[in-house]
Amino acid sequence: MNEPFGRASYAYAVARSFDPAQLAGVRGVDGAEVRLVRYRDLVAVVSPVPLTEFDEAALRTKLEWLPWLEATARAHHAVVDAVATSSVTLPLRLATVYRGDERVTEVLRQGYRRFRAALDRLAGRVELGVKVYTDPQAMAPAAGPSASSPGRDYLRRRRAQHRAHDDAWQRAAASAERVDATLAGLAVDSRRRPPQRQQLSGVRGENVLNAAYLVDAGRTDEFAAVARCLDAEAPGTRIELTGPWAPYSFAPPDDEEPA
């Protein structure tokens, strides 16, 4: 059935079929209640959105408005996260919108084999995020003896700062390679993405590794313990572990044609 009154269906995730009671109380974008659209043994998790607010022009404007982008991204993620506690989950890209549940069913039908294959690969696995940062403390240069002139003093201080910064960065970069190689050995798959800018993440220290690992659910404790050891072994750097996440980073590539 197409949505009446200019409403559209916002799709969050494709998953193996599960009991919708497990999503009771879960709200999506704009606080709307989520529901399941079924096709064979698959479901798509959707919620109604006003078409006028999700047409191309409206979306283009709103996606550039950070408060809206944040609220929508968090709502999207909250639903994906809730689905992932209930079933094997393929998260969809933000703002995947259809003109009604009938269209969603059609998409499930067309992509059935691709979705099934991807879900089979992700079953029993979670995504863990690992970031390696330089330690800002290690980047502060030691105070040297004062030189004869303020200008020379200044230049000396600058050089010392640069050396301290370079050293800290190189230590962290070497540590990042070791961390990635070790953790990738415990994972089924791994992805590296561009380091996050401090100004976006608000985290202290410079991000030198930003990676995601697909890990068997039974090995996550081991993974975390090894990450902790690596953290302790590498002074001057800091390792941050996040997750478990729904497997956002291990979705099938765009170029795979639906069968």
Among positions 113-172, residues that touch another protein (CB under 8 A) are 118, 129, 158, 162, 165
Rounded Cα gap, residues 210 and 241, in angstroms:
10
Q: Which stretch binds another protein (CB under 8 A): 15-23, 142-150, 178-186, 231-239?
A: 231-239
What backbone phi and psi angles, to 5 degrees, belong to 172?
Answer: -65, -40
Q: What angle do CA 249, 186, 76 make, to 5 degrees?
A: 25
Q: Compare residues 148 and 199 and give the one whose CB is closer to another protein.
A: 199
Return the residue of 17, 40, 52, 93 that touches another protein, per CB under 8 A: 93
Q: Mask of contacts with another protein, 23-62, x by CB under 8 A?
A: --x-x---x----------------------xxx--xx--
Query: Least separation, in Å, of the C-beta of 228 and another protein?
Result: 6
Q: Determine if 183 is a binding residue for another protein (CB under 8 A).
A: no
Q: Compare residues 39 and 98 and give the one whose CB is closer to another protein.
A: 98
Return the residue of 18, 20, 50, 95 that touches another protein, per CB under 8 A: 95
46-50 LR contacts (CB < 8 Å, sep 24+)? 46/9, 46/10, 46/11, 46/12, 46/98, 46/101, 46/104, 47/9, 47/10, 47/12, 47/79, 48/3, 48/7, 48/8, 48/9, 48/10, 49/7, 49/8, 49/9, 49/10, 49/97, 50/6, 50/7, 50/8
Return the residue of 38, 103, 121, 178 that touches another protein, per CB under 8 A: 103
Q: Determine if 226 is a binding residue for another protein (CB under 8 A).
A: no
Q: Which stretch binds another protein (CB under 8 A): 136-144, 145-153, 181-189, 236-244?
A: 236-244
Q: Compare residues 73 and 173 and give the one whose CB is closer to another protein.
A: 73
Neighbour-count burial for 243-257, b at 16+ CB within 10 Å, e otherwise: bbbbbbbbbeeeeee
Query: Least separation, in Å, of the C-beta of 243 and another protein?
Result: 7
Return the residue of 1, 21, 64, 257 that touches another protein, per CB under 8 A: 64
Q: Determine if 84 is a binding residue for another protein (CB under 8 A).
A: yes
How would DSSP label each residue in 213-259?
EEEEGGGHHHHHHHHHHHHHH-TTEEEEEEEEE-SGGGSPPTTPPP-
> In angstroms, what CA-CA distances link 3 with 7, 46, 85, 215?
5, 12, 28, 39
Query: Least separation, in Å, of the C-beta of 173 and another protein?
Result: 15
Query: Least separation, in Å, of the C-beta of 155 and another protein?
Result: 9
Q: Determine if 7 is a binding residue for another protein (CB under 8 A).
A: no
Q: Compare residues 38 and 99 and give the one whose CB is closer to another protein.
A: 99
Rounded Cα gap, residues 104 and 151, in angstroms:
68
Q: Determine if 257 is a binding residue for another protein (CB under 8 A).
A: no
